[in-house]
Amino acid sequence: MPSTRFSPSTKQTSQKILEGRYQLLQRLARRLRRQTFLARDLQTQALVVIKVLSFNGELHWNELQAFEQEATTLQRLSHPAIPRYQDHFEVQLRHGDRGLAIVQDYVAGPSLQHFVDAGRIFTEAEAKQIARSILKILTYLHALDAPIIHRDITPDNILMTEPAKDQGTIGQLYLIDFGSVEVYAHDESSSSASTLGTYGFMPPEQFSGRVLAASDLYSLGMTLITLLTGSHPSKLPHKNLSTRFEEVAILSPAFTDWLKWMTEPLVEHRPVSALAALEALESGQQRQLKPKVIHPRPQGSNLVLHKSPACLEVMVPPAGFTPIVKIFALATGGLLLLCSLWTLLALNQSIGIKLLALSLGLPVWAIGLGLLPILLFMTMGRTRLRLNQDQISLVYEIFRFKINRPPAAPMAHISGIRLIQPGHGNETKKPTRLVIQARNRRYELGSNPLFNLVSHLRLTNNPSGFSTLTNPELEWLAHELSNWLGLPISHI
């Protein structure tokens, strides 16, 4: 690949020519290692946009991968509302650094974010016109042989030209910035190890690296809400992860319902495709809403749940001295007392009997002392489950001291939420358990060290009394996690 030397940080770029063809005129944007320039194609005299990624020492592999994927993706696309790909090549930067450049058609128009920053509030009619245009682009992208999910639809990534006299107030719209795209197989979701997108416009499932066609619909819905309210989604009222935009913008009932449909937190509650969303928008009919099943917090529950669009944390308090724990504690205390008496008696015997008695008593001492931390956890220990944009973690702790910490897993590895119900027939009875599956790792609520010990040793036919969570609490947590992750619940 040929290379060209130039200095991207030079303000006067009009004399710099790349590939002997592209004369740099102006730097349009700069973000970390990425820069965007306005240039002139000296062969055609047309204006073009050139994106440059610098290969300096701080470059991460995923940045290079995303840039190369953008170039590959743009070569596949042919749509009048997507700036046309022209070329990409390697460039030589200052201080011996290298970089990659992508050349695209130039669109003479600002982003929609420019209008929002200037204080413009778009009307419902204008928002509908924008929605139609972008949905047509998404229909094209999602219908390709290898469908493309944009993953970063925001006001910043939609350009609008000056409207013609017969266009009203909305000009030609263009979707740009394909650096976060995901390519996936038909009828499948995609899972990525990295979380790409823009906070406030990303659907809940995208925080875990899971993306579907409906993920783009959520981002488009949030973009329209921003245009209609003039506010970033994070600054609008929220309730149960849903944006209460209707408290700020006065819209028709049908369009309000349509926007709520587009921005449903649970992915399966959104339109099944961009085409279905477009048809519903054109028809103007409201959805036939099914009665929502409300899962309130169980009465009397001491569970602590903190959630935001970026983080969810569950704290399971100690079980305390429940009747079964008291019985187990008395049994453990009795065992240790018996060991103590056995040891005292052995100390008064001859050396041979003493050694024999102590050797027989050591395993019993080990069992009794091993049960003490378990009982301590049951009475004073807490379990913390935490999910954020990067990973899921589960911690057992006593007085803030972590006594057991299973390895954390990337959010992108999460594949399902399972409610495992009690067994039937001759199987050992177990309580309902909530399991989050992350590839070969399981993060489980509903069990605890004492429950696991009792189940493993089969000390009782009904160890469910040793669980620290009730079935209603686990059902409620399952639905909270399902809504936050955008994943369905599997009942096993």
Angle at 410 between CA 196 and CA 439, to 5 degrees: 120
Residues 131 and 278 in one domain: yes
Looking at the fold, whether 75 and 208 belong to one and the same domain comes out as: no
Q: Which DSSP category does 480 fall into?
A: H
The answer for 475, left when phi > 0, alpha when psi is -120 to 50, beta otherwise, is alpha
In the chain, the number of structural domains is 4
Within this chain, do residues 411 and 361 fall inside the same structural domain, yes or no?
Answer: no
Q: Are 380 and 403 in contact (CB under 8 A)?
A: no
- pLDDT means per 10 residues in the chain (492 residues)? 40 68 89 87 95 77 81 93 94 75 95 96 97 97 90 95 84 91 53 64 81 92 97 88 90 95 89 90 74 72 83 82 67 74 72 70 68 65 82 82 77 79 52 81 73 46 54 89 80 76
Residue 190: inside a domain: yes
Chain centroid offset of residue 469 CA: 26
- Partners of 489 in the β-ladder: 417
Q: Look up the CATH number of the domain holding residue 403.
A: 2.30.29
Residue 28 sits in the same domain as residue 72: yes
* Half-sphere CA count of 79, side-chain side, radius 13 A: 23
DSSP letter for each residue of 124-182? HHHHHHHHHHHHHHHHHHHTSSS-EE-----GGGEEEPPPPTTSTT---EEE---TT-E
- Residues 308 and 457 occupy one common structural domain: yes
**What pLDDT score was predicted for residue 187?**
41
Separation of alpha carbons 48 and 84, rounded Å: 10
Task: For residue 30, give the CATH number of its domain.
Answer: 3.30.200.20
29, 36 Cβ separation under 8 angstroms: yes
CATH number of the domain that 138 lies in? 1.10.510.10
The pLDDT, as a whole number, for residue 141 is 95
pLDDT (0 to 100) of residue 245: 95
Task: Report the C-alpha gap between 106 and 161 in whole angstroms.
Answer: 11
Q: For residue 56, is it within any domain?
A: yes
Tell me the two tokens of residue 390.
Answer: 């990067």
Residue 413 lies in domain: 304-317+379-491
10 Å CB burial of residue 477 (0-12, 13-18, 19+) is buried
The model's pTM is 0.64
Active site residue 152: yes
E strand or H helix at 376, and its extent? helix 351-380
Q: Does residue 263 belong to any structural domain of this protein?
A: yes
Residue 17, phi then psi, degrees to nearest 5? -125, 125
Assess if residue 292 is contained within a domain: no
- Indicate which residue of 87, 145, 152, 177 is catalytic: 152
What is the torsional sign of CA 35, 41, 42, 47?
negative
| Pair (330, 397) in one structural domain | no
The long-range contacts involving 227-236, CB below 8 angstroms and separated by at least 24 positions, are: 227/112, 227/115, 227/116, 227/121, 227/122, 227/126, 227/127, 227/130, 227/155, 228/121, 228/122, 228/124, 228/127, 229/121, 230/116, 230/119, 230/120, 230/121, 232/200, 233/200, 233/201, 234/199, 234/200, 234/309
Residues 347 and 264 in one domain: no
171-195 burial, b if ≥16 CB within 10 A, otherwise e? ebbbbbbbbbbbebeeeebbbbeeb
